[in-house]
Structure 1
Amino acid sequence: MTNISPESPVLTTQVSGSGPAIVLAHGGGGGIDANFGGLIPLLATDHLVIGSDYPADDTPLTLDSLADALVAEAVAREAETFSIVAFSLGTAVAIRAAVRHPERVRGLVLTGGFARPDNRSRLNIQLWQRALAAGDNESFARFVLLAGFSADFVNALPEEQLSAILAQTAANIPGGTAAQAALIEHTDVRADLPQVAVPTLVIGLAGDLLCDPANAREQAAGIPGAEYTELPGGHVVMVEQPDAWHAAVLDFFARQRAAAAR
């Protein structure tokens, strides 16, 4: 039986392509275009791709209500069943959706995620919240750059480009980031992991300073039958390793199609 939270947040949804449905679940302080902009056209060649941005205000969020809202948006687009491709915070949302809506969710691809934030992740997220609460967007941008990208990536940036990225990040903080950061701090889906009963690919990121790959390995170890692979680079994989990430996601779905055709 489908679980639905009584107070689901209002999401903004975009749809591309046609075919078997894939739902996208973005990370905290991200968005569908920011996290999946390069992947969407690749998936949409043979899938219906449904991407919902989380609320653009700081109304408090719960994992249950966000998971339910993503599912409701997909069903409203006539996707009765679907897989979920998720990044960072979105991986916890996807796991909760798979447990609360097992009749809907048919597969998971989880990248750069966690079952619950480790100490370093939680400290980083607390710094995000303090900077946002103080209106200190410049410090927030510095925290994001330090933790969101690998050391090699940041150290290789020319000084002018580094300054430009900091300025752009500070000027374009998505609405709702503070609420999403608060949700990350208190998320814990460890008890959900053994209840996930769909094909799952977990992707860790070897140079991730925001969400150490040990967190992704914990997800994979806890989900029965989950595959695990690890890519180089930092947390913002769609910037540092887009081609390798896209290839891993597309390969998962190609193998699922082949298995279904047997």
Structure 2
Amino acid sequence: MSPRNQTAPTFARTRLGSGPGLLLAHGAGSSLAGTYGPVLEALAARHTIVGIDYPGSGDTPRSTTPLSVDDLADQLVAAADAEGLDRFAVSGYSLGGPVAIRAATRHPERVTALVLTAAFPHRDNRLALASSIQSKIAATGDRELLAEFLLMTALGTQALESMPAEQLQQTLGYTAASVADGSAEQTDLVGQVDVRDDLANITVPTLVVSTTDDRLVSAALHRHLAQTIPGAQLAEIPTGHLPMLERTEEWLQLMTDFLDKHHA
């Protein structure tokens, strides 16, 4: 077993449930609860869940310096250390995907499996443009405008167009209220991350969940992960970037089936 992580845990963390360890890495501009809230209870029924909130999310203060994927990964493992977990699977959503990948390559003897949902190894042109716009809007503090941009780009076509006008307004209000204070810094990181060199070095069972109607992180980026990580399994969900809202049960089933098989 590798030595314990030497990083001091400074991010707010959550622990739930019992069973094999499962670390959760959330998406940019969200939080642990914002990303995994709809499936947390079900995951905690089968696993000891440990997750962190990035700077500017949840109870973690905003950072005064640019964020790094290495630091987020090390803080995630530091949270596991603080909660007494030696070995664990890691689930990463969107920006949490590169965080999970970096955790696996920086702490290879600790990580037993990976689940990467709507994730990316680097930015393509669409993601570069979207992250730049999102970061600039977030920096203005205009939460309503940011919510409009997020729903337009993150929701799948069917989910967005099936909303009655009243529900759309309610969803905009909820989204604006739940946007992380650190959205600008977290989204800046999205435009800078590049973990392509890590992929061939991943040796643990990996599930890549592709959100096929995703207009933020393209399915081509999901497929790149699945094709480059040795032995990775690809599963597709016909949803936008928000499977936790659009296809909650389907997403949960994919994760639990895979973890039951590879992380019992």
**TM-score when normalising by structure 1:** 0.93
For residues 143-173 of structure 1, the C-alpha deviation after alignment (integer angstroms, 9 at most, x for no partner) is 1001111122111111111112122222331
Tell me the equivalent position of 1:83.
89
For residues 19-75 of structure 1, the C-alpha deviation after alignment (integer angstroms, 9 at most, x for no partner) is 210000101011111111122222222321111111221432101111001001101
- Residues 69-148 of structure 1 mapped to structure 2, 5 A cutoff: 69-148=75-154
Counterparts of 1:181 and 1:3 in 2: how far apart (Å)?
30
Work out whether 1:216 is the aligned partner of 2:216: no
Tell me the equivalent position of 2:164.
158
Tell me the equivalent position of 1:46.
46
Q: How many matched pairs? A: 257
Counterparts of 1:62 and 1:5 in 2: how far apart (Å)?
17
Work out whether 1:244 is the aligned partner of 2:250: yes
Counterparts of 2:54 and 2:113 in 1: how far apart (Å)?
21
Q: Is the 8 A contact 2:136 2:184 kept in 1?
A: no
- Give RMSD over aligned pairs: 1.7
SS of 1:84's partner is strand
SS of 1:198's partner is coil
Tell me the equivalent position of 2:233.
227
CA gap 1:17/1:4 in 2 versus in 1, 3 angstroms: closer
Question: Which structure 1 residue ranges, 4+ long, deviate > 3 Å from structure 2?
Answer: 1-6
Counterparts of 1:149 and 1:5 in 2: how far apart (Å)?
39
For residues 57-114 of structure 1, the C-alpha deviation after alignment (integer angstroms, 9 at most, x for no partner) is 1432101111001001101111001000110000000000100000111100000000
- Is there any run of 5+ residues in structure 1 with no aligned partner, and where? none
Q: Is the 8 A contact 1:108 1:199 kept in 2?
A: yes
Q: Is the 8 A contact 1:10 1:54 kept in 2?
A: no
CA gap 1:44/1:167 in 2 versus in 1, 3 angstroms: closer
Counterparts of 1:23 and 1:170 in 2: how far apart (Å)?
27
Q: Is the 8 A contact 2:215 2:240 kept in 1?
A: yes
Q: Is the 8 A contact 1:28 1:177 kept in 2?
A: yes
SS of 2:33's partner is helix
Counterparts of 1:236 and 1:93 in 2: how far apart (Å)?
18
Counterparts of 2:4 and 2:197 in 1: how far apart (Å)?
17
Counterparts of 2:152 and 2:9 in 1: how far apart (Å)?
31
Counterparts of 2:3 and 2:99 in 1: how far apart (Å)?
16
Deviates more, 1:144-153 or 1:87-96: 144-153
The CA deviation at 1:4 is 5.8
CA gap 1:152/1:196 in 2 versus in 1, 3 angstroms: same
Tell me the equivalent position of 1:24.
24
Counterparts of 2:3 and 2:116 in 1: how far apart (Å)?
22
Counterparts of 1:43 and 1:74 in 2: how far apart (Å)?
16
Counterparts of 1:123 and 1:93 in 2: how far apart (Å)?
21
Q: Is the 8 A contact 2:5 2:77 kept in 1?
A: no
Tell me the equivalent position of 2:59.
none
Match of 1:193, as an amino acid?
A: L
Counterparts of 2:222 and 2:239 in 1: how far apart (Å)?
14
Tell me the equivalent position of 1:198.
204
Counterparts of 2:201 and 2:242 in 1: how far apart (Å)?
28
- Residues 175-194 of structure 1 mapped to structure 2, 5 A cutoff: 175-194=181-200
**TM-score when normalising by structure 2:** 0.92
Q: Is the 8 A contact 1:28 1:89 kept in 2?
A: yes
